Structure 1
């Protein structure tokens, strides 16, 4: 996966920014703040998916 990083505003020639991929990267970064989602302490895939859904809803509501 190629990282998508905002270039510094003072840079003369900034590379093009894919805003969709940048938003996904920011979302994944915010999602990793939830410890149970980042460390995968859940035993089953369904409970892990439930944690991801709850964390996504909390991020969406803020």
Structure 2
């Protein structure tokens, strides 16, 4: 699980541990206990954020006109294919 410093809380870390997931969240500056943190993995989070930024340029996805989940997913897949073909 990747998150920024805003998600650094014991409750979130415990919820991740309960699901056998590792929380790669940088510790806040006022936290006494430090946790394991991978800087390289945290930088890869940027790829996901840039992807969501690109698909939100399409108005139908950003405003979610279609309320049917299947149709919305189909629209996201079409936009992903379009972005991939343009690259």
Asked if Structure 1 and Structure 2 have the same fold, meaning a TM-score greater than 0.5 normalized by the shorter chain, the answer is yes
| Alpha-carbon distance between aligned partners in 1 of 2:69 and 2:80, rounded to the nearest angstrom | 16
Aligned residues: 50
**Aligned residue for 2:68?**
44
Distance 1:24 1:59 in 2: 14
Q: Provide the residue aligned with 2:59 in structure 1.
A: 35
Is the partner of 2:65 in helix, strand or coil? Answer: coil
Runs of 4+, deviation exceeding 4 Å? none
Alpha-carbon displacement from aligned partner over 1:9-58 (angstroms, at most 9, x marks no partner): xxxxxxx5633201101000001001101111003100000110001111
> Structure 1 19/60 Cα, relative in aligned 2: closer, same or farther at 3 Å?
farther
Give the match for residue 10 of structure 1.
none
What residue ranges of structure 1 are gaps of 5+ in the alignment?
Answer: 4-15
1:19 pairs, out of 43, 49, 66, with 43
What are structure 2's unaligned runs of at least 5 residues?
A: 6-38
